[in-house]
A = this chain, B = another copy of it.
Amino acid sequence: MAYKDNYPSKLLEEAVDAISTLPGVGRRSALRLALHLLKQPVENVHHFTSSINHLRDDVKYCRQCMMISDDEVCSICSDRSRDAGTICVVESVRDVMSIENTGQYHGVYHVLGGIISPINGIGPSDITVRELVSRVAALCAEGSPVEVILALSGDVEGETTSFYIYRQLAQYGVTVSSLARGLGFGDDLEYADELTLGRSIVNRQIFRP
């Protein structure tokens, strides 16, 4: 009997199968994690799994910016001290957290929930561009000055998405800026150091495609 494909226990194999679906976790690491969990007190393991179930089942998204939130409107959107006329458009929840960590930004956000990528079959209707346009239209109708900051990655998908959003917003005559690139092209937001990212948001430039 070889254990490469034949685990000593069906339950162990199923747990390893499940754990190895996580990104960056191979079967060898998954086995190590499964055996680690097996050695923990039952209540710790139940707490581990229930906190993941709770997150997936009960998390809400801010109806304004689509950020993860415990309430209908997130703590940033409901913060009166923040500039509701400056909207920073990001791909993901993690990007919001990265920018918040710089402490340099006092506007609000819009989480696209993805990026336009024909290769991955993700089109404009799969991300929250429509909601962004409605937000901008509503602000313009109120007569407030609006700036949209495109804070997307510097790769092809990011540039494509920025350009698409820029065109969608053209009719409203709002200011559209993009992050200053102190970072190299192709750098991911999440791996940027806070100083560089903070500079990038302060030195954002008018978007000229």
Interface of A, helix, strand, loop or mixed by DSSP: helix
Q: Which of B34, B42, B79, B93 contacts A35 (CB 8 A)?
A: B93
Within 73-117 of A, Cβ neighbours of B (below 8 Å) are at 74-76, 79, 92-94, 96-97, 100-101, 103
- Of all chain B residues, the one with the shortest Cβ separation from A55 is B15
Closest CB in chain B relative to A126 CB, distance in Å: 12
Q: Is the CB of B15 within 8 A of A51?
A: yes
Q: Is the CB of A100 within 8 A of B1?
A: yes
A108-B53 Cα distance, complex, nearest whole Å: 40
Is there a chain B Cβ closer than 8 Å to A185's Cβ? no
Q: Is the CB of B14 within 8 A of A23?
A: no
Within 38-97 of A, Cβ neighbours of B (below 8 Å) are at 38, 40, 42, 44-60, 67-70, 74-76, 79, 92-94, 96-97
Please tell me which stretch of A2-10, A127-135, A136-144 contacts chain B, meaning at least 4 of its Cβ atoms lie within 8 angstroms of it: A2-10
Q: Is the CB of A11 within 8 A of B75?
A: no
Q: List 26 A-B contacts (CB under 8 A).
A: A1-B75, A2-B103, A3-B100, A3-B101, A4-B101, A7-B97, A8-B96, A9-B59, A9-B69, A11-B59, A11-B70, A12-B55, A14-B55, A15-B51, A15-B52, A17-B51, A18-B48, A18-B51, A21-B44, A22-B36, A31-B94, A35-B93, A35-B94, A37-B56, A38-B59, A38-B68
